[in-house]
Amino acid sequence: MDYTVQSLVSAKRNSVRRRRLTEALWGYIFLFPQLLGLLAFSLVPLVTVFYLSSVKWDGLGPIQFVGLQNFIEQFAPDSDLRIALINTSYYVLITVPGGIILALLIALGLNKVRGKTLYRVLYFMPYITSGVAVSVIWLWLLNGDFGLINTLLRVWLHIQGPSWLTDQRFVIPSIAVVSIWQGLGFNMVVLLAGLRNIPATYAEAARVDGANRLQLFWRVTLPLLSPIVFLVTVLSIIGSLQVFDQVFILTGGGPGKDSYTMVYHIYHQAFVEFQFGSASASAVILFVLILLLTLIQFALRKRWVYYES
Amino acid sequence: MAQDTLSQSTSDSAVVSVAVSRSRKGIRVGALGFTLLLHLFLIFGAIIMVAPFIWMVLTSLKDNSQAFRIPPTWIPNPIIWDNYPQSLQAESFGQAYWNSFYITAIVVTSVLLTSSMAGYSFARIRFPGRNVLFILFLATLMVPFQLTIIPLFLIMRDLGWIDSHLALIVPASLFNAVGVFLMRQFILSLPIELEEAAIVDGASRWTLFWRVIFPLLKAPLAALGIFTFIGQWNSFFYPLIFLSSPNLFTVPMLLNQFRGEYSTQWTLVMAASVIAVVPILIVYVLLQKQIIEGIATTGLKA
């Protein structure tokens, strides 16, 4: 055989190339199921929904291209989307700060007492339960005449409570309370884990310097906890913008449209009115909203989230 | 160090602060009173967390005259057990439980397998387009599922999978960006010497993964499995869209149906809720340590 340098070099190059090819093949083989799922159930639908938002279609008849018409209609005055946006914003403004502050208080408290495990089990219980079951239970609790809430109000405070879920003033706060109740366990668990992760040396140093409890909290604990608080806030906002199960069970968007939220709007247009084009446009709008809010939060992160350098 | 927890240092510093307050002629009760107040606050909160469940059970054991009385009867007397057989007969909970169970089992198993494979691929194998694809996976985390539900519905319709469990199983099994992300992060943290040793011994990628890597993935797999299990079992939106035959319903859907049909018979509805909720609660109480800790560590990593 003729082992010239040239042939040796090219032989090595070929075997390297073959190895790289096998590598690449294995890479794709291992990736294959998830890749298939990504393409079929995420990317293709994603592209499709943008296309659908530019047509009018009831799913059966002819498809009618209308360009940006759907979006214009969605933002028309008195449109259902506007109502949904307002309702959803109101809901988010109650649920997110309320839920996180409560979870933080409980996590801080739990961090300092014995019996953590028992408390944790109890506080986390609602989160594990299905949103449907939670909503059905609260549907009964919030019943205007016989529900536990109004019963307690009557017996203890002699007040006649409103019909929580059919009174326009209280319907969104009521749904918010149900969501806070259910989500508290999750936020608390994550915050508690974050608290336990804070090295004790910071707190000790602060005490040596004479800090009292309040100063300890504001100056030491909270800044060190801020990355976790940031995470919990981002997840909370995204989650609450997508509220559906509770609305569906508790009120069906009612009374009237007073608890009509964004996802319920999408659902209603697509699967009750069979307006796939309009529904897709609403979905796109919701997506852009979530994206913008998340990006804004990440941009603001440098301002208030403290990272150890 | 085992001492390096805020809670441990807090009980130490509680002693310190007691000493400090004593020396400042403060009241010794200060630290003790604070803990007491804290416990009261926490107990109050815990009651609020648990009371709805208790009320659910209590109501399920009443008859209508007890449930709809003002003021209400707190403890049912007599206890009406009949609501349960009535609920069970009214709707086929057994079928729904089986549906929920086998769908969840398939999805969880599949997610664990495919996510760890994909995570391994991203973490340890070099192939063209690796970075682009990973970013693509991450990007889909931003996409709320409501965005893709409409085209998904149309795809399922074209596949003839509407009103069949396939529509629920296949997408959930094959696509889980969170899972892929978690597994990749974890596998990246494993020492590479393990694999190098196996390659030297002549193992193929396939054996390498299943014999060496996979057994080490117990912790993240458990966390991912629990996450997926909870999400899948309690899933409502997807079954709502895709299923219409009652015998295909999952537990949440059946409960919703029940609520619709027996809307004013709250004692029955509460009994149905108990039937829907209690098995999961039992599983939860038994596994709560793993469940909660799995969620905590996943949250920290994210």
> Is A168 part of any domain?
yes
pLDDT at B67: 80
Residue B301 has pLDDT above 70, yes or no: no
Residue B288 has pLDDT above 70, yes or no: yes
Spacing of C-alpha B285 from chain mean position: 13
> Is B58 part of any domain?
no
The region of weakest confidence among A302-306, B133-137, B194-198, B261-265 is: A302-306
pLDDT, tens digit, 9 for 90 and up, residues A266-299: 999 999 999 999 999 999 999 999 999 999 998 8
* B19 vs B164, more confident: B164
Residue A98 has pLDDT above 90, yes or no: yes
Distance to chain B for A217, nearest Cα, Å = 12
Same structural domain, A84 and A20? no
Same structural domain, B157 and B214? yes
CA neighbor of B76 nearest in space, from B90, B60, B53: B60
Average of per-residue pLDDT values in chain A: 88
pLDDT at B24: 47
* B206 vs A263, more confident: A263
Same structural domain, B19 and B101? no
User: Which chain A residues contact residue B297 at CB under 8 A?
Assistant: 193
Average of per-residue pLDDT values in chain B: 83
Do A264 and A230 contact (CB within 8 A), yes or no? no
Interchain CB contacts (distance < 8 Å): A and B: 312
SS3 A55: strand
- Using pLDDT thresholds of 50, 70 and 90, give the confidence band for residue A144: confident
Same structural domain, A47 and A78? no
Helix intervals (H) in A53-79: 69-74
- Using pLDDT thresholds of 50, 70 and 90, give the confidence band for residue A95: very high
Which residue in the set A20, A109, A133 is minimally distant from B41, CB to CB? A109
pLDDT at B26: 44
User: Which chain A residues contact residue B177 at CB under 8 A?
Assistant: 38, 42
Taking CA atoms, A301 is separated from A218, A228, A233, A296, B215, in Å, by 18, 12, 11, 8, 38
Taking CA atoms, B247 is separated from A42, B96, B103, B236, B240, in Å, by 29, 7, 14, 16, 13
Mean pLDDT of A12-40: 86
Please compute, for residue B222, the number of CA atoms within 13 A of its CA located in the half-sphere on the CB side.
Answer: 15
pLDDT at A133: 93
Distance to chain A for B147, nearest Cα, Å = 5
Same structural domain, A259 and A182? yes
Question: CB-based contact (8 Å) between B24 and chain A?
Answer: no
CA neighbor of A118 nearest in space, from B199, B54, B285, B22: B285
CA neighbor of B42 nearest in space, from A205, A24, A106: A106
Distance to chain B for A2, nearest Cα, Å = 30
pLDDT at A183: 93
Same structural domain, B5 and B103? no
Which residue in the set A23, A122, A204 is minimally distant from B49, CB to CB? A122
Mean pLDDT of B173-183: 89
CATH for A118? 1.10.3720.10
pLDDT at B12: 53
Question: CA-to-CA distance for A113 and B283, rounded, in angstroms?
Answer: 26
Cβ separation B299–A189 shorter than 8 A? yes
Count structural domains, chain B. Answer: 2
Count structural domains, chain A. Answer: 2
> Which pairing describes strands A55-56 and A64-65: parallel, antiparallel, or unpaired?
antiparallel
Question: CA-to-CA distance for B19 and B13, rounded, in angstroms?
Answer: 9
Residue A152 has pLDDT above 80, yes or no: yes
User: Which chain B residues contact residue A294 at CB under 8 A?
Assistant: 142
Cβ separation B53–A52 shorter than 8 A? no
Rounded to the nearest 5°, which phi and psi values hold at A38? Answer: -60, -50
Question: CA-to-CA distance for A228 and B273, rounded, in angstroms?
Answer: 34
pLDDT, tens digit, 9 for 90 and up, residues B81-116: 888 888 888 778 888 999 999 999 999 999 999 999
> Is A92 part of any domain?
yes
Same structural domain, B151 and B30? no
Cβ separation B154–A263 shorter than 8 A? no
Question: CA-to-CA distance for B51 and A125, rounded, in angstroms?
Answer: 11
The region of weakest confidence among A30-39, A195-204, B175-184 is: A195-204
Cβ separation A123–B59 shorter than 8 A? no
Which 277-296 residues of chain B touch chain A by CB within 8 A? 277, 280-281, 284-285, 288-289, 291-292, 295-296
Same structural domain, A21 and A136? no
pLDDT at A1: 54
Give pTM, 2 decimals: 0.84
User: Which chain B residues contact residue A27 at CB under 8 A?
Assistant: 121, 125-127, 130
Residue with structure tokens 């047509």? A55
Residue of chain B nearest A284, judged by CA positions: B147
Cβ separation B55–A184 shorter than 8 A? no
Those residues with Cβ within 8 angstroms of residue B92's Cβ, 6 or more apart along the chain or in another chain: B246, B247, B254
User: Which chain B residues contact residue A193 at CB under 8 A?
Assistant: 296-297, 299-300
As to burial, measured by CB atoms within 10 angstroms (0-12 exposed, 13-18 middle, 19+ buried), residue A154 is: middle
User: Which chain B residues contact residue A56 at CB under 8 A?
Assistant: none
Same structural domain, A168 and A125? yes
Distance to chain B for A122, nearest Cα, Å = 6
Which residue in the set B45, B70, B146 is minimally distant from A286, CB to CB? B146
User: Which chain B residues contact residue A200 at CB under 8 A?
Assistant: 3-6, 8-9
Same structural domain, B163 and B269? yes
Whole-number percent of chain B with pLDDT over 90: 28
SS3 B165: coil
- Using pLDDT thresholds of 50, 70 and 90, give the confidence band for residue A173: very high
Mean pLDDT of A58-81: 89
As to burial, measured by CB atoms within 10 angstroms (0-12 exposed, 13-18 middle, 19+ buried), residue B52 is: buried
Q: What's the sign of the alpha-carbon dihedral B177, B99, B233, A84?
A: positive
First to last CA, chain B: 24
> Is B66 part of any domain?
no
Question: Which among A16, A21, A42 is the top mutation candidate for probing chain B, defined by the most B β-carbons within 10 Å of its own β-carbon?
Answer: A42
Annotate B57-83 with b (16+ C-beta within 10 A) or e (fewer). Answer: bbbbbbeeebbbeeebeeebeeebeeb
- Using pLDDT thresholds of 50, 70 and 90, give the confidence band for residue B3: very low
Same structural domain, A220 and A153? yes
The region of weakest confidence among A124-138, A196-210, B18-32, B55-69 is: B18-32
Those residues with Cβ within 8 angstroms of residue A89's Cβ, 6 or more apart along the chain or in another chain: none
Same structural domain, A174 and A237? yes
- Using pLDDT thresholds of 50, 70 and 90, give the confidence band for residue A62: confident
SS3 A65: strand
Question: Which among B47, B133, B147, B297 is the top mutation candidate for probing chain A, defined by the most A β-carbons within 10 Å of its own β-carbon?
Answer: B147
Residue B7 has pLDDT above 70, yes or no: no
Same structural domain, A118 and A239? yes
pLDDT at B5: 47
Mean pLDDT of A41-69: 90
Cβ separation B234–A129 shorter than 8 A? yes
> Is A60 part of any domain?
no
pLDDT, tens digit, 9 for 90 and up, residues B21-58: 444 444 455 677 788 888 899 999 999 999 999 999 99
Mean pLDDT of A11-33: 84
Cβ separation A284–B9 shorter than 8 A? no
> Is A57 part of any domain?
no
First to last CA, chain A: 62
Q: Take residue A295 and report the two structure tokens written for it.
A: 């990006």
Residue with structure tokens 């659902």? A267
Residue of chain B nearest A285, judged by CA positions: B147
Question: CB-based contact (8 Å) between B114 and chain A?
Answer: yes
Which 204-243 residues of chain B touch chain A by CB within 8 A? 205-206, 209, 230, 233-234, 236-237, 240-241
pLDDT, tens digit, 9 for 90 and up, residues B203-261: 788 888 888 888 888 888 988 898 899 889 999 999 999 999 988 999 999 999 988 88
Instruction: Count CB-CB contacts under 10 A for residue B94.
Output: 10
Distance to chain A for B209, nearest Cα, Å = 10
CATH for B296? 1.10.3720.10
Same structural domain, A35 and A169? no
Q: Provide the residue range defining the domain that includes B187.
A: 87-301
Same structural domain, A112 and A226? yes
The region of weakest confidence among B9-13, B51-55, B121-125, B175-179 is: B9-13
Cβ separation A110–B41 shorter than 8 A? no
Q: Provide the residue range defining the domain that includes A124.
A: 69-304
Residue A156 has pLDDT above 80, yes or no: yes
Annotate B126-150 with b (16+ C-beta within 10 A) or e (fewer). Answer: ebeebeebbebbeebeebbbbbbbb
pLDDT at B14: 52
